Amino acid sequence: MTYMKEIPFPHEGMSKKVSQDLRGSSCCLHCGSDAGFLCSGCRKVRFCSPSCQQKTWKEHRKDCKGDAGEKELKELKSPPSSEQWVVIFNTDSLPGHDAGTVTSGPEAAKDVCMKKGFGGMVAWQNTFFLRKEPVPELVAAAVHAQGTHLWLPIPPLLDISRTRVGNAPPAVLPEVVVSGAKSVPKRSNLSVSEMDEHFHKSRPVVLKDAQKGWPAQQKWTFEWMGSTYGNEVMPCSDLAPFFRHCDRGQIRTVSAPLRQFTQYVLGEPSIFHALQEEGRVFYANGWAPFLDHPELLRDVSDRLYCVSDSIPTEGPAKVFNCSLTKIFMGPAGTVSRLHHDTYATHVWLSQIRGRKQFICYPPEETPYLHSMPVDEVDGRTSLFDPEAPDFVQFPEARKAQPYSVVVEEGETVILPARWWHWAKSLTPSITLMRNFVNQNNLQDHMAIRQSAEKAKGRR
């Protein structure tokens, strides 16, 4: 079973003749010992361990073209390591089929799996239960198990993905037609006082010019994100946002490198094709990179020219401020289900790439939206689907007044506190999102935070 993307070239102490003799054999090209892992690039040489691979990668990369092709080779800027694994949260596979256990951490468990040719491992309470079955079998047998996480190596998942890339989402989807929907106005050159009036009256607006001067307008592509921040590991889910009242056992969340996700969006082989269930697409909607990568903020802004935002950018609140600004990415068809945001915050969402449709409802329509158990900390949620309304299951929703708007590339929608919103990417999409407070919702926001702290103290 192939766990790694590439393998090493012979070490300096090995003669070139010996190294040539080892090509096509079952021996490690670096040290000559038995090797169980075939290079998935050239498919001609093998290695026995990550350490051998690391020591000779630079030389092997020069002539490891083979079936991988020039494009794939250029993407391999560094040798894969034992860290090239993904984690599927709250998932087990073949429980009871333990091929051994490791309690000294994930790196030690990965090394054991690679040396013995095991398919993967399951983590539970700091113990790693090894699985010798091949990766396709582990994927097929995956089941929900709260608190248990399935670890799988990337290369075998890519082998599965290469047979499934034809199932990628379409590049363009039509706008959802919403009967009786009102439009959201689109404006330019708003003053701060004009925008404050929108907050005061609780009315959404789309700014056509909020991205003026942002380098991200030209710079932020999926290709650039994947090549520049490809090693960033982030969670990606096939349901968004997470509804804690009903999603346990229904959602698949995978922690994987960003490069894998951008390849997925671009229709190239990616681990997400292997893990995608029919009718679902994965959505990366949890990346808050601006504390670790402040250079990204130079491409955009966490403040809009006409929007009052009371969150301090420096001092003790700096970490909190950075946590409020996120980057959402996904293919066409990603959906954010009907909800309003946490702690009574306002929100704006700016389309760096692609088109996204928003179907929204004012706060006064809340009684008609079949809100799930009230939780102002997590924000309210509803299973009513504006794209496919079921008025038998959700009869009161007929009375709710929807608003609908397609936010084009370069535009930014601003939704005041407690505005319900449902969103769907009509094309592959990169969105900059920010939650914030100002004088219009600060008192309400602080009351919820204080209530949450009191409830936490009573536990």
List, for residues 369-421, the tens digit of each pLDDT value.
999 877 778 789 999 999 999 999 999 999 999 999 999 999 999 999 999 99
Residues 232 and 340 in one domain: yes
Q: What is the pLDDT of residues 153-171, one digit of tens each?
A: 999 999 999 988 777 778 8
- 168 domain-assigned: no
pLDDT at 42: 58
Domain boundary among 41, 56, 75: 75
- 275 domain-assigned: no
pLDDT at 211: 98
Helix ranges restricted to H, 119-270: 135-140, 154-161, 192-200, 216-219, 222-229, 258-265
CA dihedral of 280, 216, 355, 351, whole degrees rounded to 10: 90
- 17 contacts: CB under 8 Å, gap ≥ 6: none
Residues 138 and 38 in one domain: no
Does residue 262 have a pLDDT over 50? yes
Q: What does the block give as tokens for 296? A: 């990204």
- 118 domain-assigned: yes
- 427 domain-assigned: yes
Residues 99 and 210 in one domain: no
Does residue 8 have a pLDDT over 70? no
Residues 156 and 192 in one domain: no
Beta-carbon count within 10 A of 205 CB: 22
Under the banding of pLDDT at 50, 70 and 90, the label for residue 19 is very low
Give the CATH number for residue 144: 3.50.4
Residues 157 and 29 in one domain: no
**Among candidates 413, 432, 411, 409, which has minimal Cα distance to 422?**
413
| Percent of the chain predicted with pLDDT > 70 | 82
Domain boundary among 75, 105, 121: 75
Under the banding of pLDDT at 50, 70 and 90, the label for residue 199 is very high
Across 10-19, average pLDDT: 39
Distance CA 401, CA 128 (A): 51
Residues 327 and 447 in one domain: yes
Residues 348 and 422 in one domain: yes
Q: In this predicted model, which residue has the larger pLDDT, 235 or 63?
A: 235
Residues 302 and 412 in one domain: yes
Helix ranges restricted to H, 134-221: 135-140, 154-161, 192-200, 216-219
- 6 domain-assigned: no
pLDDT at 22: 39
Q: The pTM is what?
A: 0.81
Considering only 30-34, 262-266, 270-274, 390-394, which range has the smallest mean pLDDT?
A: 30-34
| Helix (H) or strand (E) run with residue 343 in it | none
Residues 451 and 395 in one domain: yes
Domain range enclosing 203: 182-236+283-458
Residues 322 and 386 in one domain: yes
Beta-carbon count within 10 A of 160 CB: 17
- 209 domain-assigned: yes
> How many angstroms separate the Cα of 62 from the Cα of each of 21, 73, 215?
18, 9, 35
**Among candidates 175, 150, 137, 105, which has minimal Cα distance to 1?**
137
Amino acid at 170: P
Domain boundary among 112, 130, 161: 161
Which phi and psi (to 5°) does residue 394 adopt? -125, 65
Distance CA 1, CA 117 (A): 7
Residues 321 and 439 in one domain: yes
Residues 45 and 155 in one domain: no
Does residue 115 have a pLDDT over 70? yes
- In the chain, the number of structural domains is 3
Distance CA 341, CA 418 (A): 7
